[in-house]
C-alpha cells in the first residue's frame, strides 16, 4: 500500500517513467474511446461524440501543467528537485482518472451531454434507467475518493521529491496547483 | 552480542565525552577529557549510511539500487544527515 501511495520513494525513476508512459498511452486511448476530455489536472468530462484530438491534448496539457507546477514549487523549496520525479508524479496521479473513464462504458455520461434548445435553454437528459442511476451514484462516490487519493499521493510524493518538512512548503504547492488548474483549463480551451 | 555504543547521557541526554582509555594488552590507563569525534556522535543508522556511501564510491544511485529504494529517498537521507552534522558542529 505504501508503495502504491508513494512510488517515487521506492522505485527507480527510469523504470517508473517507462511504466507511467505505457499507462499514459493506454489511458489516453481509453479516454478517446470513452469520449472523455480532461479540461484541467482535476477535470474530467464526457462528450457525446468521439473527440480524439481534445482527449489527447487535454491529457497532455494536464500532465505538463502539473509537471511544471510541481517543478516550480519544488525548486522554490529545494533546488535539488528533479524534473523526472515531477513528471513521474504528474503521470502517476492520472491513473485513478483512467479507472474513472470506465464508468462511461455504457455511454451514460455521453448521453447526458447538455443541448441548447431554440429558445436558448440548456437541456440535459437525465437518465431514468436503474443501471444508469447506479452508474451515476457509484461514479460520484468514486470521484470523491479519487480526489482524496490524488491529494494523499501528491502530499506523500511531493514530500519525497522535495524533502519538505514545513507547512509553508505545502502552502506553496497548493497555491501553485490552483494556478495550474486555472492555467490548463484556459490553455485547453484555446488549443 | 553487539553492544550499543552510548553517545548521549542516559540521565540528562547531553553528549558524552571520553575520560578513560585502556590498553587491552598491558592495561595501561589514560585519563583525560576527549570529545567524541563527529562520526561517533551520529546515530548507528547514520553511521551505517556513511559506510554504505563510502563502499558505493559515493554513488547515491548505486546505494539506492542496493537498498531497493529510489534516488530521491537516498538523497533526502543524505541531506538530513548533512543538516544533522552541521547542527552538531554548531
Q: Using the beta-carbon criterion (under 8 Å), do A13 and B70 form an inter-chain contact?
A: yes
- Cross-strand partners of B21: B30
d(CA B59, CA B63): 6
Q: What is the pLDDT of residue A44?
A: 82
Distance of CA B65 to the CA centre of its chain: 23
Hunting for cell 501528491 — which residue is that? A154
CA angle A57, A59, A62 (to 5 degrees): 105
Contact A80 B79 (CB under 8 A): yes
| C-beta atoms of A10 and B79 within 8 A | no
Chain B: give the shortest CA distance to residue A44, in Å: 31
How is chain B split into domains, by residue range?
A: 39-89
Give the dihedral sign, CA A19/A23/A24/A29: positive
Q: Do A36 and A183 meet the contact criterion of CB atoms below 8 Å apart?
A: no
List of long-range contacts for A85-89, beta carbons under 8 Å, 24+ apart: A85/A8, A85/A13, A85/A157, A85/A160, A85/A161, A85/B72, A86/A161, A87/A17, A87/A20, A87/A63, A88/A7, A88/A8, A88/A13, A88/A16, A88/A17, A88/A20, A89/A8, A89/A153, A89/A154, A89/A157, A89/A158, A89/A161
- Which positions in chain A touch B68 (Cβ < 8 Å)? 10
Task: Please give the pLDDT value at position A117.
Answer: 64
pLDDT of residue A113: 66
CA–CA distances in Å: residue A182 to residues A42, A61, B9:
10, 12, 55
Q: Which of B65, B72, B80 is the closest to A160 by Cβ?
A: B72
pLDDT value at A89 more than 90? yes
Tell me the whole-structure pTM to 2 decimals.
0.81
* A83 contact B CB<8A: no
Rank A50-64, A72-86, A134-148 by mean pLDDT and report only the highest: A72-86
Question: Is B70 in contact with A10 (Cβ distance < 8 A)?
Answer: yes
Which residues of B have a CB under 8 Å from any CB of A? 64-65, 68-73, 75-76, 79-80
Complex-level ipTM beyond the 0.85 threshold: no
Q: Do A163 and B76 touch (CB under 8 A)?
A: yes
> Which pLDDT score is estimated for A191?
63
B1: confidence class by pLDDT, cuts 50, 70, 90: confident
Q: Which residue is associated with the grid cell 547521557? A: B9
Lowest mean pLDDT among A182-191, B20-29, B77-86: A182-191
Q: What share of chain B is helix, strand, coil (3-state, %, to 5)?
A: 50, 15, 35
Cα distance between residue A170 and residue A188, in whole Å: 26
Which band of pLDDT confidence, cut at 50, 70 and 90, is reported for residue B23? very high
**What is the percent of chain A with per-residue pLDDT over 70, rounded to a whole number?**
91
Q: Is A12 exposed, middle or buried (0-12, 13-18, 19+ CB in 10 A)?
A: middle
Of A190, A137, A191, A181, nearest to A44 by C-alpha is A181
Write down the mean pLDDT value for chain A: 85
pLDDT at A178 over 80: yes
Amino acid at each position: 500500500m505504501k508503495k502504491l501511495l508513494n512510488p517515487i520513494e521506492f522505485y527507480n525513476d527510469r523504470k517508473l517513467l517507462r511504466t507511467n508512459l505505457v499507462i499514459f498511452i493506454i489511458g489516453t486511448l481509453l479516454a478517446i474511446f470513452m469520449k472523455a476530455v480532461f479540461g484541467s489536472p482535476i477535470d474530467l468530462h464526457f462528450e457525446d461524440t468521439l473527440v480524439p484530438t481534445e482527449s489527447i491534448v487535454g491529457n497532455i496539457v494536464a500532465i505538463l501543467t502539473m509537471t511544471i507546477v510541481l517543478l516550480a514549487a519544488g525548486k522554490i523549496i529545494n533546488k535539488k528537485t528533479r524534473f523526472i520525479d515531477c513528471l513521474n508524479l504528474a503521470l502517476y496521479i492520472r491513473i485513478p482518472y483512467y479507472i474513472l473513464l470506465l464508468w462511461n462504458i455504457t455511454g451514460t455520461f455521453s448521453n447526458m451531454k447538455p443541448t441548447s434548445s431554440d429558445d436558448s435553454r440548456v437541456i440535459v437528459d437525465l437518465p431514468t434507467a436503474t443501471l444508469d442511476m447506479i452508474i451515476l451514484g457509484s461514479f460520484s462516490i468514486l470521484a470523491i475518493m479519487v480526489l482524496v487519493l490524488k491529494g494523499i499521493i501528491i502530499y506523500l510524493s511531493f514530500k519525497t521529491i522535495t524533502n519538505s518538512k514545513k507547512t509553508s512548503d505545502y502552502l506553496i504547492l497548493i497555491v501553485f496547483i490552483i494556478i495550474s488548474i486555472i492555467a490548463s483549463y484556459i490553455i485547453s480551451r484555446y488549443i | 552480542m553487539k553492544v550499543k555504543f552510548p553517545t548521549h547521557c542516559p540521565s540528562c541526554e547531553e553528549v558524552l565525552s571520553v575520560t578513560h582509555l585502556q590498553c587491552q594488552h598491558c592495561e595501561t590507563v589514560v585519563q583525560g577529557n576527549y570529545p567524541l569525534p563527529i562520526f561517533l556522535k551520529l546515530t548507528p543508522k547514520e553511521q551505517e549510511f556513511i559506510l554504505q556511501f563510502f563502499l558505493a564510491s559515493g554513488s547515491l544511485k548505486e546505494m539506492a539500487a542496493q537498498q531497493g529504494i529510489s534516488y530521491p529517498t537516498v538523497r533526502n537521507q543524505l541531506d538530513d544527515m548533512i543538516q544533522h552534522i552541521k547542527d552538531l558542529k554548531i
